[in-house]
């Protein structure tokens, strides 16, 4: 976290500032590979120039501008003329008025030089094949300082870009679930300490949601300790827990029920809000019972 002074900066300045702050963090963890991932608003020549001058941090940016190249051609036309390296498949997450669906992308790659200062850059074009009726086709231009020539190399860059949904979900959890924007503390130090705690809780909410999607039938002890799940189970169902731990999905549904999740047929799986509220209440309940046991011996 850092404080900004003076007038409200432009959006472009924020992206550049973020890259510069990441460069500072690199000094603290020099053996870690750092990659700066940005959306279309981060397609800034000043950012690419910054990396060329001080190449400590790799970048992967979704292209917004059809930039002119050193040889006079345009960026998109050059990469579109390259032969396809192959196809990549992934699941497009559910979005606003958009259901989750499987996507197949055709991948093309080109290494070009931007006209300004002849700056070298890798361009990855990802175009959706066989778009379903009524769906908006996925079409991405990704820009990076990293040189790639193979499908596996391009797929690695694409996988990094796909991580942006997890990043967006994390901050959505902080804002909507943890309500960090409503926190009002007098000092920066107190705000930072509270934010660290909220970030840990937000991570756990995301972790539980991911486990519930990927391994719902695994034992709940993958994410809950034995005493924790037994207290939640007994309290929610008003009966003694079985000797065998229930599934992750079962316990996550019980936790979410404390946050308002009803579990009706059309409700789907618990969302951020119900899971966050449920975890808060279950944590308080478990802690109260544990402390009571300690006091009573």
SS3 247: strand
- The pLDDT score that the predictor gives to residue 124 is 97
Q: What is the CA radius of gyration of the chain?
A: 24
Q: With 80 as the cut, is the pLDDT of residue 181 above it? A: no
Closest CA to 233 of 247, 215, 222, 216: 247
Q: Does 261 share its domain with 283?
A: yes
Q: Does 216 share its domain with 134?
A: no
Q: Evaluate whether residue 5 is within a structural domain.
A: no
How far is 231 from 233, CA to CA, in rounded Å?
6
Asked if 10 and 40 count as a contact pair (C-beta separation under 8 A), the reply is: no
At residue 7 the predicted structure's pLDDT band, cuts being 50, 70 and 90, is low
Q: Does 206 share its domain with 91?
A: no
Q: Evaluate whether residue 18 is within a structural domain.
A: yes
Q: What percent of the chain has pLDDT over 70?
A: 93
Average pLDDT over residues 47-68: 89
- The pLDDT score that the predictor gives to residue 180 is 64
Measured N-to-C along each axis, helices 11-28 and 45-53 cross at an angle, to the nearest 10 degrees, of 20
CATH number for position 33:
3.90.350.10
- The pLDDT score that the predictor gives to residue 15 is 87
Distances (CA, A) of 84 to 108, 132, 151: 5, 21, 9
- The pLDDT score that the predictor gives to residue 30 is 87
Hey, which residues does 101 pair with through a beta bridge?
92
How far is 89 from 87, CA to CA, in rounded Å?
7
Q: Does 49 share its domain with 145?
A: yes
At residue 50 the predicted structure's pLDDT band, cuts being 50, 70 and 90, is confident
Q: 30 or 257: which carries more pLDDT confidence? A: 257
Q: Does 237 share its domain with 129?
A: no
Q: Does 157 share its domain with 27?
A: yes
- The pLDDT score that the predictor gives to residue 25 is 87
Contacts of residue 113, Cβ cutoff 8 Å, sequence gap at least 6: 69, 70, 71, 119, 120, 121
Q: 24 or 232: which carries more pLDDT confidence? A: 232
CATH number for position 197:
1.10.740.10
Half-sphere exposure of 281 (CA within 13 A, CB side): 16
- The pLDDT score that the predictor gives to residue 258 is 95
Q: Evaluate whether residue 4 is within a structural domain.
A: no
Q: Evaluate whether residue 113 is within a structural domain.
A: yes
- The pLDDT score that the predictor gives to residue 255 is 96
Q: With 60 as the cut, is the pLDDT of residue 250 above it? A: yes
- 125-173 residue pLDDT tens: 999 988 888 888 999 999 999 999 999 999 999 999 998 888 888 888 7
- The pLDDT score that the predictor gives to residue 220 is 96
Q: Does 61 share its domain with 138?
A: yes
For tokens 């979704």, name the residue: 62
- The pLDDT score that the predictor gives to residue 229 is 96
Asked if 250 and 195 count as a contact pair (C-beta separation under 8 A), the reply is: no
- The pLDDT score that the predictor gives to residue 2 is 44
Q: Evaluate whether residue 271 is within a structural domain.
A: yes
User: What is the tally of structural domains in the chain?
Assistant: 2
- The pLDDT score that the predictor gives to residue 3 is 44
How far is 123 from 63, CA to CA, in rounded Å?
9
Q: Evaluate whether residue 1 is within a structural domain.
A: no
- 267-284 residue pLDDT tens: 888 988 899 889 989 999
Average pLDDT over residues 98-123: 91
Q: Does 167 share its domain with 213?
A: no
Q: Does 151 share its domain with 222?
A: no
User: Could you say which of 129, 150, 175 is where a domain stops?
Assistant: 175
Q: Does 191 share its domain with 159?
A: no
User: Could you say which of 175, 204, 230 is where a domain stops?
Assistant: 175
Q: With 70 as the cut, is the pLDDT of residue 182 above it? A: no
Q: Evaluate whether residue 40 is within a structural domain.
A: yes
Q: Does 23 share its domain with 89?
A: yes
- The pLDDT score that the predictor gives to residue 185 is 64
User: Could you say which of 135, 152, 175 is where a domain stops?
Assistant: 175
How many CB atoms lie under 10 A from the CB of residue 201?
17
- The range of the structural domain enclosing residue 243 comes to 183-296
Average pLDDT, the chain: 88
Q: Can you say whether the dihedral through the CA atoms of 65, 70, 73, 79 is positive or negative? A: negative
- The pLDDT score that the predictor gives to residue 24 is 86
Q: Evaluate whether residue 287 is within a structural domain.
A: yes
Q: Does 79 share its domain with 214?
A: no
How far is 123 from 141, CA to CA, in rounded Å?
7
């Amino acid at each position: 976290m850092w404080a900004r002074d003076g007038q409200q900066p432009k959006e472009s300045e924020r992206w550049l500032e973020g890259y510069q702050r990441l460069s500072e963090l690199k000094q603290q963890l020099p053996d870690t590979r750092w990659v700066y991932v940005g959306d279309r608003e981060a397609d800034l020549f000043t950012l690419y120039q910054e990396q060329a001058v001080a190449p400590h941090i790799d970048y992967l940016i979704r292209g917004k501008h059809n930039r002119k190249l050193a040889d006079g051609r345009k960026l998109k036309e050059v990469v579109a003329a390259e032969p396809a390296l192959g196809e990549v498949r992934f699941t497009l997450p559910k979005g606003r008025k958009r259901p989750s669906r499987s996507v197949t992308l055709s991948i093309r790659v080109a290494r070009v030089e931007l006209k300004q200062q002849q700056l070298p850059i890798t361009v990855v074009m990802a175009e959706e094949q066989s778009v379903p009726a009524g769906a908006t086709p996925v079409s991405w231009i990704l820009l990076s300082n990293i040189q790639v020539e193979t499908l596996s190399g391009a797929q690695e860059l694409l996988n990094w870009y796909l991580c942006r949904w997890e990043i967006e979900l994390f901050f959505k959890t902080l804002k909507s679930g943890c309500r960090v924007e409503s926190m009002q503390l007098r000092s920066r130090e107190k705000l930072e300490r509270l934010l660290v705690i909220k970030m840990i809780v937000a991570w756990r909410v995301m972790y539980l949601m991911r486990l519930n999607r990927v391994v719902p039938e695994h034992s709940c002890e993958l994410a809950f300790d034995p005493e924790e799940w037994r207290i939640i189970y007994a309290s929610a169902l008003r009966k003694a827990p079985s000797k065998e731990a229930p599934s992750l999905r079962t316990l996550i549904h019980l936790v979410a029920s404390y946050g308002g999740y009803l579990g009706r047929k059309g409700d789907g799986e618990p969302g951020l809000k119900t899971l966050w509220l449920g975890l808060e209440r279950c944590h308080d309940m478990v802690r109260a019972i544990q402390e009571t046991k300690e006091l009573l011996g």
